[in-house]
Amino acid sequence: MARQASLSPARARAHKFMVIMSLTTVFLFSGTVFGWGAFSEMIQAEGYYDYLCTHPDPAKPCTKQLQALNNAFTLATTAVSLVAYLNGWLVDSLGPTKVTIIAGILASVGLMGIALTKTGSWSKQEAEGGFDIFLWSTVLTAVGGSMTMFIGYQAPFIVPSSFTLLIEVNSCLFDAGTIIFPLLKVLYDLGVPFSAFFWAYTVLGFICYSLFSISWGMNQKELDEIRAAAGGDEHEGPEHNRPLEQRSFMSQLRSFEFVSIFIYSIIMVPRANMYMGTFSMINRKIAEGEGTMSSLNLVNTITGFVIPFGFVAVPLIELCMHRLGTLWTVQLTTLIGVVYNLLQLVPSLHLQLVSVVIFAAWRAFLYSTISAFNGEIFGVKTMGRIMGLCFVFSGLTNMATGPLVNAAVDSGDFTRLLIEDLVITIPLPILFYVLQRRRQGGGAREPLAPETP
């Protein structure tokens, strides 16, 4: 890519500044709401919603208080899925500079709302009047964070020599961000007042989003030029003869490539969510069966700590992307997903520590390969909308797993659930083998990779 080789020092600095702000903001603010466990413990201790209890007790929250907190989390995480396509459309249509400003406003207002709510009588009166400030502030924070992740997917197109690396890191930092609230809880447990560090976190958000929007303003013109060069009506010849990234959005949706990654997403993303929602229950059944209940709490604690660290697999993902190509990396990702699933069927509690390490790596592979595939195949002009559709329908499919999990809980046996989780992956290697043969036959381009000047 000659464009990269001939960059002026000023352009190179602008690229570096944007990449730094992109990765920093994605890590600090995009996926934090999913670290709900630690956050929930802090706000319970601070008395959020304790006015719902007859006898408020920070050490023993009442049922109504727990339900109110769970409602906030459920609505926030559901919103992340439901607005995914909207976020992608906004990034594709308005560009990252304007959308960064929107995301910053949403996240900052949300964080301010959470900080202001606490136990004040005014927030209680508002909630009783039908407007729950804490709930909607949490939703705004989650939606702003989701939008931030979509903005982050645009950065690799500015630095194509590091395309797959930046795609992978962006995907993994969304997951890694779930550790922010656990880290803040460490400060809280050490005696730092909640209001002190949370207001500092809110101010940090305002600063990061401001700098992030400035950094994109410095690079927006270049991204517009890349998009203009990516394809459009000016291309000659029938649309079906053009590379996919030069076709219209609707034409891309009718492609076998989209069908493949769409099916892959709606199967694999719910599998990842199901593991995180059921590992503690599965571990409990294993511990009860082998008489290792004394180790259960430690194993579950370590499991919760390991999951956000999937980003350490980025060097391996990068190696696979460049040595194997994206399509073979998808196949490898499927295989890794089968391995952790099989280990869960083994009735050994301590073996589940191996399982979670493999799961964390697999989750990093999963989101990285989906993102890299969509970026490379569909291009800069439509990647946001393509990613949005994959995530929206993955979220809807995820809702269908609820009855399956409930049935396993009622029966007290998770074996059937785990086997079904394995069986559903069987068509995927076949699907992507067919896709690979079709693209080889059609002379598809190679995955993006660093080029020597």
CATH at 246: 1.20.1250.20
Same domain, 222 and 284: no
* Number of structural domains in the chain: 2
Buried b (16+ CB within 10 A) or exposed e, 157-186: bbbbbbbbbbbbbbbbbbbbbbbbbbebbe
Q: C-alpha angle 294/295/299, rounded to 5°?
A: 150
Output the pTM of the full model.
0.81
DSSP classification of residue 446: P
Please check the confidence at residue 2 and state whether its pLDDT lies above 50: no
Chosen domain end from 184, 205, 229: 229
pLDDT at 77: 82
Q: What is the spatial distance between Cα 364 and Cα 314, in angstroms, rounded to a whole number?
A: 7
Calpha distance 30→17 (Å, rounded): 19
Same domain, yes or no, for 271 and 379?
Answer: yes
> Over the stretch 189-222, which tens digit does the pLDDT of each residue have?
899 999 899 999 999 999 999 999 999 999 999 9
Q: Let me know if 241 is exposed, middle or buried by CB neighbors in 10 A (0-12, 13-18, 19+).
A: exposed
Query: Looking at the structure, do residues 153 and 278 belong to the same domain, yes or no?
Result: no
The SS3 assignment for 56 reads coil
Final residue in a domain of this structure, among 167, 195, 229: 229
Within a domain: 452: no
What six digits make up the tokens of 157? 């197109």
- Return d(Cα 339, Cα 67) in angstroms, integer: 36
Residue 443 confidence (pLDDT) above 80:
no
Tell which residue, 36, 42, 25, 45, has the closest CA to residue 74: 36
As a whole number, mean pLDDT of residues 370-382 equals 92
Judge if 267 and 218 occupy the same domain.
no
Q: Do residues 167 and 256 both lie within one domain?
A: no
The reply to whether 187 and 266 lie within a common domain is no
Examine the domain organization and report whether 193 and 271 are in the same domain: no
132 domain-assigned: yes
Write down the pLDDT at residue 44: 85
Confirm whether 91 is domain-assigned.
yes
Name the amino acid, one letter, at 180.
Answer: I
Range of the structural domain that residue 76 is part of: 2-229
Residue 125, in any domain of the structure? yes
Tens of pLDDT, residues 236-269: 556 667 888 888 899 999 999 999 999 999 999 9
The amino acid that residue 248 corresponds to is S
The band of 231, judged by pLDDT with boundaries at 50, 70 and 90, is low
- Whether residue 448 is contained in a domain is answered as no
- Is 235 domain-assigned? no
When the pLDDT of each residue in the chain is averaged and rounded to a whole number, the result is: 87
Note the pLDDT of residue 164. Answer: 87
Of residues 6 and 350, more confidently modeled: 350
Question: Residue 5: which pLDDT band, with cuts at 50, 70 and 90?
Answer: low
Provide the residue type at 171 as one letter.
S
311, 168 Cβ separation under 8 angstroms: no
pLDDT of residue 166: 92
Q: State mean pLDDT over 292-312.
A: 87
Judge if 97 and 194 occupy the same domain: yes
Same domain, 175 and 121: yes
Helix (H, G, I), strand (E, B) or coil at 282: helix
Residues 336 and 366 grouped into a single domain = yes
